[in-house]
Structure 1
Amino acid sequence: MFDVLFAHIQEKVALTEQDREGIQSVFMARKLRKRQYLLQQGAICTHLSFVTKGLLRAYNVDEKGHEHINLFGWEGWWISDLNSFLFQEEALLNIDAIEETQLLMISLADYNALMVRVPVMERYFRLLYQNSLATKDRRLISSITHTAEEKYLQMAHRHPQIIQRVPQHLIASYLGLAPETISRIRKSLALRQSR
């Protein structure tokens, strides 16, 4: 399980054997069944989770009962309600498994201790947070300025594995589109490719 985590970390920073031991000592493994919650809206997010296998979604539910997916998390991704985790406030997001999932989880106390014990992890997380902010900016701009087809094509280009693994209605929710719109886009693209 730790191989996936270490490979991800080493894409950004170098780890010593002592760093690896320090990291392993503060994570706990957890498995989720398909549709099992990792976090429910209103609870406190007690752990930051790294996906070693499987697929999750983070979403909120509006007053009309409609789901709005904020994030998909698959192998090599971190997932949590970060505001709830860092500030120990009620979560605004639900997180549940789309597929059977395996996670490595770290508590807030262990996360803070890890930054002191393994200083290179502070740089690693800073780089992750920078990338996350840039991605959120791109997504916001895309949601305002791009057509439905452009949004779908960007997602298919950036994350082709998600297009294959995630049901169409969940992709629609993530893109802020109706499922019928995704069907129309897919049919139109297939028609163009067959010419």
Structure 2
Amino acid sequence: MKILNEYLCLEKMKDFKQLFLSRGECKIYKRNELFVRKGQTNHFMGFVHSGAFCCFDHRQDGKEQIIGFSFDNDFVTHYPSFLHQTQSLINIKSIKDSEVYVLPYREIRDFFYKDEENLIFSKHLAEALFAEAYECLISIYCDTAEERYIKLIRTYPDLLSLITLKELADLIMVAPETLSRIRKKISLLQGS
């Protein structure tokens, strides 16, 4: 399966992961336990050794709106809050029991500023995160729900083994019933 968060392919990412594994504090998050709470400053970043996390906010009707996910061998944080040490705009919770290696802001900042190579890596990381967010924004404005679903499943065919259909529907911003109709339509088209 293609990596969900493509920034993980950056050169030097191996060193960054190793920093978490060697110096991070191993924490266990139970299902539905918050990693980041909206309105609070995010002082930590985590490397997901095993498990899964969901980034979300609440809409005006009170329902959760899923924004993204972090799975095994990925990082979990609200990056803008972490980077600028400001209040988080979203919540992040574990969607299954998860083992995470956590490092505080200061230690990661020190890693980034250790030398020019690490500073360049931090710049590339921020650029990659921005590019992913921007591509997502364009898709929300320009693609239909069906197109968003098809792109997601073609790019990440194993995604449905990691999240529920309800979570997938929320991610592409449709009701679960609409996703069912989209899946049925695609299935009928593939069968003919």
Common topology (TM > 0.5): yes
Tell me how far 1:161 sits from its aligned partner.
Answer: 2.3
Structure 2: runs of 5 or more not aligned: 1-6
Deviations 1:4-46 (A, max 9, x none): xxxx978512878xx9986655422212112121122122211
Give the aligned CA root-mean-square deviation in angstroms.
2.6
Amino acid at match of 2:164: P
Aligned counterpart, 2:30: 33
1:94-173 to 2 correspondence within 5 Å?
A: 94-117=91-114, 120-173=117-170
Amino acid at match of 2:26: A
More displaced 10-residue stretch of structure 1: 113-122 or 164-173: 113-122
Amino acid at match of 2:61: K
Would you say 1:192 and 2:179 are equivalent positions?
Answer: no
**Secondary structure, counterpart of 2:123 in structure 1:** helix
Tell me how far 1:87 sits from its aligned partner.
Answer: 2.3
Aligned counterpart, 1:50: 47
**Secondary structure, counterpart of 2:134 in structure 1:** helix
Aligned counterpart, 1:12: 11
More displaced 10-residue stretch of structure 1: 139-148 or 123-132: 123-132
**Residue 176 of structure 1, aligned match among 173, 178, 184:** 173
Amino acid at match of 2:133: K
Tell me how far 1:118 sits from its aligned partner.
Answer: 5.9
Change (3 A) 1:14 1:33: closer
The answer to whether the 8 Å contact 1:52/1:104 transfers is yes
Tell me how far 1:108 sits from its aligned partner.
Answer: 0.8
Number of aligned residue pairs: 186
Would you say 1:89 and 2:86 are equivalent positions?
Answer: yes
Instruction: Give me the whole-angstrom Cα distance separating, in 1, the residues matched to 2:13 and 2:81.
Output: 29
Amino acid at match of 1:87: H
Aligned counterpart, 1:5: none
Structure 1: runs of 5 or more not aligned: 1-7
The answer to whether the 8 Å contact 1:12/1:127 transfers is no
Deviations 1:95-147 (A, max 9, x none): 11112212122111111111233654333332222222111121111111111
Deviations 1:33-76 (A, max 9, x none): 12121122122211012222111110111232021111111122
Aligned counterpart, 1:75: 72
**Secondary structure, counterpart of 1:117 in structure 2:** coil
Tell me how far 1:185 sits from its aligned partner.
Answer: 1.0
Normalised to the residue count of structure 2, the TM-score between the two structures is: 0.84
Amino acid at match of 1:183: S
Normalised to the residue count of structure 1, the TM-score between the two structures is: 0.83
**Secondary structure, counterpart of 1:90 in structure 2:** coil
Change (3 A) 1:64 1:116: same
Amino acid at match of 1:12: E
Change (3 A) 1:13 1:88: closer
